[in-house]
């Protein structure tokens, strides 16, 4: 969308769908990927704003990650300072919101799942901490509040 600002694009592990998190628009857009034509087609746009609230114009959507089974997706939003949990439809890739939790700090810059899929970790840049949320592998839901660990200006989380 024009004026939506910077975006983060991530492909579903099956390669058929892509997910675009808009920073200024605070949305996550589900896109069909046609590899033969090299074309993306929008099939769903979901607001990351709570309830019926209109997304704020300022910094918003941050990152999207999938669990190893690709049944669940997690999206962080910087403006609303939340992590939103979604179920991923295996038929068409569309998302259904399952819940949202506060990110455990201020300005969630990056999120990652640990290699066991048991923990979602949030790098909260402005509050100088990393928050770790236990994850229910059956429902995908995050258990809040998470554990907090001090770290100056975290930017990115990488598991080696």
Across 103-132, b (16+ Cβ under 10 Å) vs e yields bbbebbbbbbbeeeeebbbbbbbebebbbb
pTM, entire model: 0.90
Rg (CA), the chain: 15
Q: What pLDDT, on a 0 to 100 scale, did the predictor assign at position 55?
A: 54
> What is the average pLDDT across 17-43?
92
Q: Is the pLDDT reported for residue 3 higher than 80?
A: no
Give dist(CA 73, CA 138) in Å, integer: 13
């Amino acid at each position: 969308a024009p004026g939506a600002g910077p975006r983060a694009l991530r492909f579903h592990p099956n390669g058929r769908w892509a997910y675009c998190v808009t920073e200024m628009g605070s949305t996550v857009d589900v896109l069909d990927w046609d590899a033969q034509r090299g074309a993306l087609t929008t099939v769903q746009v979901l607001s990351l704003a709570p309830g019926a609230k209109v997304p704020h114009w300022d910094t918003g959507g941050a990152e999207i990650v999938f669990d190893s089974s690709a049944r669940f997706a997690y999206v962080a939003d910087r403006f609303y300072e939340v992590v939103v949990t979604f179920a991923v439809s295996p038929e068409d890739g569309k998302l259904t919101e399952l819940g949202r939790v506060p990110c455990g700090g201020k300005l969630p810059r990056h999120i990652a799942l640990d290699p066991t899929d048991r923990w979602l970790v949030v790098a909260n840049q402005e509050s100088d901490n990393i928050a770790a949320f236990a994850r229910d592998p059956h429902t995908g839901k995050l258990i809040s509040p998470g554990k907090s660990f001090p770290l100056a200006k975290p930017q990115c989380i990488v598991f080696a």
